[in-house]
Structure 1
Amino acid sequence: MTDTSNPSIRFNDGAAYERMMGVWSRLAGETFLDWIAPKQDLAWIDVGCGNGAFTELIVQRCAPRAVNGVDPSDGQLDYARKRPGTQIATYHQGDAMALPFGDKAFDAAVMALVIFFVPEPPRGVAEMARVVKPGGLVSAYAWDMDGGGFPLQPVMRELRAMGFVPQPPPHPDASRTENLIALWQGAGLSDIATRRIDVTRRFESFEDFWAASTSGSTVKPAVAAMAPDILAELQHRVRAHLKEQSGGAVSYDAFANAIQGRVPG
């Protein structure tokens, strides 16, 4: 998902996003889909589908009748359309706050790792509710940005400690469980339920972690501009947050908050 109101946060490189966040998205997305336990043969809309990482999970695990992905980024959508696992999906360039579909067009709507990038989260949730049929599912999961659950937290934390200010998403607080509940209630949704999703990602080496975690637009500009000695210090500080595994591998734990509700009727 690209925040069109904040040009400094743009995810236009689908391949870089895949390395940075696609794996994390699938790890959390698998648990998320097990939790919401959707029926088969549904028509889905994946809002802020990005490069199609979660869209692919819907196709693989949910036997959907149809899937439509919406995202503002041409680069992300181009990558999504080339995914062999999403051939039944149709992708559209569009805005989460003004979805290009009529009322009651889908059985299920989802935002995967998107809500904190939407310039006006209440409008985004209201739009999902608008395009879903009565009784249909409206759901989301998002890294707990305020609570330290973001996968890039080790890098972001140490950048701030060293005086750098990486650009945060416009609404990091939207990922808090109490705020998600308020958003779903504000959109008139019922049968609201929440849960926390914990995931661990293993990297073959610290270098693998570093390359993946600094490949996106969130921190790449700051890291690329660093002098070698400053960069070495940052890497040393970040490494202290990771768990050492056998054979030089490292791992990191992240967590997301998930929510689901139903359109009344």
Structure 2
Amino acid sequence: MVEQQIRFNDGAAYEEMMGKWSRLAGDVFLDWLAAPKGLRWADIGCGNGASTQLISDRCAPAALSGIDPSQGQLDYARKRPVSSLAEFTLGDAMDLPYPNASFDAAVMALVIFFVPDPARGVAEMVRITRPGGIVAAYAWDMPGGGFPLDPVLTELKALGMTPPRPPSADVSRIDNMAALWTQAGLRDVETREISVRRHFTDFDAFWHASTLGATVAPTIAALPSQTVTELRDKVRARLNIAGDGSTSYVARANAVKGQVPD
């Protein structure tokens, strides 16, 4: 099977599938950054605005800009409360439409592995951030099995399917992220692992959230109903189901941060 390209255009589907995961990891990420209030923030690859809203809620920014290549995602972002503060722009992470040194902090939330040339994306974040400013990112540990949808993707692969995969998945290894930041000339580079647990009322809720949007939905839609039933059973067997039918799953991300040299 030809590998599918992942494109997110449905902001509501993305919110249920990944937006909730993003906020869980984002809370830990922002605690770790410990950025002062009143900064000018750039949220690169802001998607449907989940991370942008979190920055607004947590960091009291003086200004906030989000950029993403999906108009559908941006349409959803503009319906969030953060839209009263944030400016949302359609654009490319490898060619940011911002002046040099125009932000105090530039971040990527679950984005770096979707950038075709990650080094160029990091260089652009450095360019738009003032000397002494923060450049940071976090990404699911795709090679290490930390992706929230890993139970479904693993069983799809076992069935002979080719699960969708970001074009730069290996960049999410913690050593690769550290190397990117160092090679970009950032100083005081640090990394950390982020583990978060999301709870679901039952297996059906987990299945629904894990099979929405562009990541696996097209693959599953092409399967015979009997194969989908088999897939569901195998995914269920990978989870711990509590006595009340609820379940939870732990995902892992790697984070990196550094400062632009003076």
Q: TM-score range by the shorter chain?
A: over 0.9
Give 1:37-48 correspondences, 5 Å limit.
37-48=34-45
Aligned-residue offset at 1:86 = 4.0
Q: 2:85 aligns with which of 84, 88, 91?
A: 88
Task: List per-residue Cα deviations over 1:24-66 (Å, max 9, x = no partner).
Answer: 0000000000011000000000000000001001000000000
Greater mean deviation of Cα atoms: 95-104 or 225-234: 225-234
SS of equivalent residue, structure 1 residue 219: helix
TM-score (norm 2): 0.97
Q: Name the counterpart of 2:163.
A: 166
Asked whether the equivalents of residues 70 and 95 of structure 1 are also in contact (C-alpha less than 8 Å), the reply is yes
Rounded to whole Å, the distance in 1 between the matches of 2:10 and 2:84 is 20
SS of equivalent residue, structure 1 residue 15: helix
Give 1:1-265 correspondences, 5 Å limit.
8-265=5-262
AA of the residue aligned to 1:34: D
Rounded to whole Å, the distance in 2 between the matches of 1:188 and 1:175 is 19
SS of equivalent residue, structure 1 residue 218: helix
Task: List per-residue Cα deviations over 1:54-91 (Å, max 9, x = no partner).
Answer: 10010000000000000000000000000124421110
Rounded to whole Å, the distance in 2 between the matches of 1:7 and 1:72 is 18
Rounded to whole Å, the distance in 2 between the matches of 1:126 and 1:240 is 43
Aligned-residue offset at 1:203 = 0.7
SS of equivalent residue, structure 2 residue 95: coil
Q: Name the counterpart of 1:3.
A: none
Q: Which runs of 5+ in 1 are unaligned?
A: 1-5
Greater mean deviation of Cα atoms: 92-101 or 234-243: 234-243
Aligned-residue offset at 1:246 = 3.9
AA of the residue aligned to 1:186: Q
The number of residues matched between the two structures is 260
AA of the residue aligned to 2:212: S
Greater mean deviation of Cα atoms: 154-163 or 216-225: 216-225
Rounded to whole Å, the distance in 2 between the matches of 1:87 and 1:26 is 20
Aligned-residue offset at 1:247 = 1.7
- For the aligned residue pairs, the C-alpha RMSD in angstroms reads 1.1
Rounded to whole Å, the distance in 2 between the matches of 1:113 and 1:235 is 26
AA of the residue aligned to 2:197: T
Q: Which runs of 5+ in 2 are unaligned?
A: none
Rounded to whole Å, the distance in 1 between the matches of 2:60 and 2:27 is 14
Where does structure 1 differ by over 2 angstroms across 4 or more consecutive aligned residues?
A: none
Greater mean deviation of Cα atoms: 188-197 or 245-254: 245-254
Aligned-residue offset at 1:13 = 0.4
TM-score (norm 1): 0.96
Rounded to whole Å, the distance in 1 between the matches of 2:199 and 2:115 is 29
AA of the residue aligned to 1:206: F
AA of the residue aligned to 1:164: M
Greater mean deviation of Cα atoms: 46-55 or 216-225: 216-225
SS of equivalent residue, structure 2 residue 46: coil
